[in-house]
Amino acid sequence: MKSICVVGLGYIGLPTASLLANNGFKVVGVDVNRKVVDAVNSGNVHIEEPGLRTLVEAAVHSKNLRASSVPEPSDVFIICVPTPFKEGKKPDLKYVFDATDAILPYLKNGNVVILESTVPPKTTEAIAQYVKEKRKDVLDGTTVINFAHCPERVLPGRILKELVENDRVIGGLTEQASILAKEIYSAVVSGNIYTTDATTAEMVKLSENTFRDVNIALANEFAHICEKLGISVWEVISLANKHPRVNILNPGPGVGGHCIAVDPWFIASEFPKEAKIITSAREVNDSIPHRVVGKIIELNSHIQNPIIVCLGASYKANVGDERNSPALEIYGLLKNHFNDKAEIRLNDTHVHNNSLNNVSLESIFNDASLIVLLTDHTEYFSIEPEKISQVVKDKIVFDTRNYLNHKLWKSSGFEVHVIGSDSRNE
């Protein structure tokens, strides 16, 4: 039985540590946040993710998972810490190097160090080099450490399923490192496991998220053009996607989260001359919240002191994560624009952030002049427009996700506006 130390108990680290523990590995999960450590040790979770609580409870109960503030000697170390960007959209690798510093004293001959965090090309090499600089025994070869990059690929909201079923790519700095890392993942992954070199694995991960970002940017650009043409982008995309080799994604209020809105910069910041499409897609997607705000201002132009209801704060449906959320950006931009000349209300049933003034669905619609759907949480689909129509001031709804039942809202007297579509066609 191998011992594994997972550094970082966030969206990726905690499910990974629990899954490995439930498959017989002895796992210590490490986090710098004491509250997270205490929560995990009592079988609790600090993240909203379907099925995670049960998985963590089982892992802690089996005594195969413990959380701690400091690493311990182990056979394998898996680094799952965030990699945000800093000023100038440059990758911030502070947490990756902090994690490396934390495990440095515990590294022994034959250990495997796996980097799961999404990183710019050549980071795995840089970490191995850093360890050599800090540990003479690694530099002179008396202690051999096997470094590999194995990027996580799971979709928030479906993490537990995808952690097991998705194919994995493992990029070892040496062939032996790939073989050893593959052994670990083989115990828990039912998808295929492909081995390659570390830089290729880094680029594979960045290419996946960049592909999605560029595709969404294209959909957002089509939405803008279709609005000008007075047609519905939703119909255009749906019909274009009937072609066997076309799969255009959905436009929306912008692209958020800690992956797709960040990772393309890991390529573009290092290759600014070459990364033309990547940079321009990022710029398109970053501009969408401003366009949405422009439309909201236009819809309120005839109203004195409007009350604007924003539904959703998280970056996408049915998750409680508001990092880089376009919904929150739009909320902030509206507050800045209107200042005290409008009341901007916000509801999100998934985000539990005390600094947000989260208004309940029971009272949020009272006297509203505009309802804007920003995140397509399932419960917003069940809002009854007939009931709402009796308490709002103006019956206008703006759907930035093309999610609501527009027929139903219209039959309750609402004027319905949808992103990427001329309201006359709705």
Q: Which of these segments, 106-114, 178-186, 196-204, 205-213, binds ligand SAJ (CB under 6 A)?
A: 205-213
Residue 331 to residue 334: CA distance in whole angstroms: 5
Q: Which of 151, 154, 155, 172 is nearest to 79 (CA)?
A: 151
Q: According to the binding rule CB under 6 A, does residue 259 interact with ligand SAJ? A: yes
Identify which range of 44-52, 207-215, 275-283, 411-419 contacts ligand SAJ by CB under 6 A: 207-215
Question: What are the C-alpha distances in Å from 231 to residues 227, 246, 418?
Answer: 6, 20, 11
Residue 153 vs 417, nearer CB to ligand SAJ: 153
Distances (CA, A) of 315 to 23, 261, 335, 357: 32, 10, 18, 17
- Binding of ligand SAJ by 369 (CB under 6 A): no
Which of 216, 226, 374, 419 is the binder for ligand SAJ (CB under 6 A)? 216
> What is the nearest approach in angstroms of ligand SAJ to the Cβ of residue 414?
24
For the chain, helix (H) and strand (E) counts, in that order, are 16, 15
| 256 lies in the binding site for ligand SAJ (CB under 6 A) | yes
Interaction of residue 260 with ligand SAJ, rule CB under 6 A: yes
According to the binding rule CB under 6 A, does residue 212 interact with ligand SAJ? yes
The least CB distance from residue 260 to ligand SAJ, in Å, is 4
Instruction: Decide: is 117 part of the binding site for ligand SAJ (CB under 6 A).
Output: no
User: How far is 204 from 210, CA to CA, in rounded Å?
Assistant: 10
Distance, CA of 137 to CA of 141 (rounded, Å)? 6
Q: Tell me if 118 contacts ligand SAJ by CB under 6 A.
A: yes
Nearer to ligand SAJ among residue 153 and residue 182 (C-beta): 153
State which residue, 101 or 165, has the beta carbon closest to ligand SAJ: 165
d(CA 256, CA 298) in angstroms, rounded, equals 24
Asked if residue 216 lies in contact with residue 249, where contact means CB atoms within 8 angstroms, the answer is yes
| Minimum separation from the CB atom of position 201 to ligand SAJ (A) | 13
Question: Least distance to ligand SAJ from the beta carbon of 217, Å?
Answer: 9
- 154 forms part of the interface with ligand SAJ (CB under 6 A): yes
For residue 300, CA distances in Å to 49, 293, 308, 372, 394 come to: 37, 11, 9, 12, 10
Instruction: Based on the shown chain and the rule CB under 6 A, indicate whether residue 115 belongs to the binding site for ligand SAJ.
Output: no
Residue 10, Cβ neighbours under 10 Å: how many? 18
152 is a contact residue toward ligand SAJ (CB under 6 A): yes
Is residue 155 a contact point for ligand SAJ (CB under 6 A)?
yes
- Please provide the DSSP assignment of 334-390 as one string: HHHHHTTSSEEEEE-SS---TTS-B--TTTTTTT-SEEEE-S--HHHHT--HHHHHT
Q: Which is nearer to ligand SAJ, 243 or 424 (CB)?
A: 243
Structure tokens at 155: 């979709």
Residue 350 in the binding site for ligand SAJ (CB under 6 A): no
Q: What is the CA 219 to chain-centroid distance, rounded?
A: 19
**Residue 387 CB burial class (10 angstroms; 0-12, 13-18, ≥19):** exposed
Is residue 222 within 8 Å of residue 216, measured between CB atoms?
no
> Amino acid identity, residue 76?
V
Rounded Cα gap, residues 267 and 11, in angstroms: 23
Regarding 156 and contact with ligand SAJ (CB under 6 A), the answer is yes
Q: How far is the CB of 263 from ligand SAJ (least distance, A)?
A: 6
* Positions marked active-site: 205, 259
For residue 279, state whether it binds ligand SAJ (rule: CB under 6 A).
no
Total residues binding ligand SAJ (CB under 6 A): 20
Q: Between 38 and 208, name the residue whose CB sits nearer to ligand SAJ.
A: 208
Asked if 203 touches ligand SAJ (CB under 6 A), the answer is no
> Least distance in Å: CB of 169 to ligand SAJ?
12
**How many residues make up the chain in this entry?**
426
Least CB distance to ligand SAJ at residue 134 (A): 29
How large is the greatest C-alpha to C-alpha distance in the chain, in angstroms? 77
Q: Is residue 252 a contact residue for ligand SAJ (CB under 6 A)?
A: yes
The reply to whether 316 sits near ligand SAJ by the rule CB under 6 A is yes
Q: Which stretch binds ligand SAJ (CB under 6 A): 130-138, 139-147, 252-260, 303-311?
A: 252-260
Closest CA to 9 of 1, 18, 337: 18
Q: How far is the CB of 363 from ligand SAJ (least distance, A)?
A: 27
- Site residues (vs ligand SAJ, CB under 6 A): 118, 152-156, 208-209, 212, 216, 249-250, 252, 255-257, 259-260, 315-316
